Amino acid sequence: GAGVSQSPRYKVTKRGQDVALRCDPISGHVSLYWYRQALGQGPEFLTYFNYEAQQDKSGLPNDRFSAERPEGSISTLTIQRTEQRDSAMYRCASSSDDSRGNEKLFFGSGTQLSVL
Amino acid sequence: SQKIEQNSEALNIQEGKTATLTCNYTNYSPAYLQWYRQDPGRGPVFLLLIRENEKEKRKERLKVTFDTTLKQSLFHITASQPADSATYLCALYRRALTFGSGTRLQVQP
């Protein structure tokens, strides 16, 4: 597609349920990033991949959060046993360059997660 | 700890004036600094990248400066227009791109 696609656009779930958020990056983009953004704040880094390799997961809040990108394209961010504090906008971004600091990120529209 | 600070108060200016937004950082030695624009309900959009050996970068009505001694970047929009109203985010690279909290700019017609 022309841009980064995320699905679902909105996700409402009950506390304790698992959720899977999907990101389809721009075709051919090497790097893929997951961020979380609270209202009025900048995006908070969670994890990123170069191709299928997860390069850095230091931003994942705890072990309930995991991400994968098995074929170096589509990625899934999974949150197990969701809690109300997980409610936020989850954004995916992709880049045509490896992460060296000069890459330009293209963001998707995000998935708004609400945990009741 | 490493911090990126942007003015959390909204900046209100009159159309046609120059808007200046500030990004300060501590405990970083970034080789690059980026600026993004974010409109309500949308993802950030890349605007400009400036390298540590560049003092200034321009793109149309946008100008970015980068002072590694002061640990500060200034983002200028000249001849501002109501369509420039948005939140502007600066970002620095650590192990991945790390964003400030952004400054909301409101340009009054």
Task: Give the closest-approach CA distance of B95 to chain A in angstroms.
Answer: 8
The string of DSSP letters for B22-77 reads: EEEEES---SEEEEEEE-TTS--EEEEEEETT-SEEEETTEEEEEETTTTEEEEEE
- Whether residue B12 is predicted with pLDDT greater than 70 in this model: the reply is yes
Question: What is the tens place of the pLDDT at every residue in B58-108?
Answer: 999 999 999 989 999 999 999 999 999 999 999 998 778 899 999 999 999
Question: What is the tens place of the pLDDT at every residue in A27-83?
Answer: 999 999 999 999 989 999 999 999 999 999 999 999 999 999 999 999 999 999 999
Question: Regarding predicted confidence, which is higher, B55 or A13?
Answer: A13
C-alpha span between A25 and A14 (Å, rounded): 28
Are the CB atoms for B17 and B63 separated by under 8 Å?
Answer: no
**% of residues, chain A, pLDDT over 90:** 90
- Whether residue A103 is predicted with pLDDT greater than 90 in this model: the reply is no
C-alpha span between B104 and B81 (Å, rounded): 14
Are the CB atoms for B65 and B56 separated by under 8 Å?
Answer: yes
C-alpha span between B93 and B69 (Å, rounded): 17
Q: How many A/B residue pairs have CB atoms within 8 Å?
A: 63
**Which residues contact residue B60 at a Cβ distance below 8 angstroms, ignoring those fewer than 6 apart?**
none
Question: Regarding predicted confidence, which is higher, B26 or A18?
Answer: A18
Name the pairing type of β-strands B11-14 and B103-108: parallel
Interchain proximity A110–B43, CB inside 8 Å: yes
Which SS3 state, helix, strand or coil, does residue A109 take? coil
Are the CB atoms for A65 and A78 separated by under 8 Å?
Answer: yes
Task: Kindly state the tokens that stand for B50.
Answer: 């400036």
C-alpha span between B47 and B25 (Å, rounded): 19
Write out chain A residues lying below 8 Å of B35, CB-based: none
| Residues of chain B that touch chain A, judged by Cβ-Cβ distance less than 8 Å | 4, 6, 30-32, 34, 36, 41-46, 49, 51, 89, 91, 93, 95-102
Q: Other C-beta atoms within 10 Å of B31: how many?
A: 14
The least confident of A69-73, A103-107, A112-116, B2-6 is: B2-6
Kindly list the distances between the CA atom of residue A18 and the CA atoms of A91, B6, B11, in Å, as whole numbers in the listed order. Answer: 18, 35, 40
C-alpha span between A82 and B75 (Å, rounded): 39
Question: What is the tens place of the pLDDT at every residue in B43-62?
Answer: 999 999 999 889 899 999 99
Q: Other C-beta atoms within 10 Å of A101: how many?
A: 20
DSSP state of A85: G
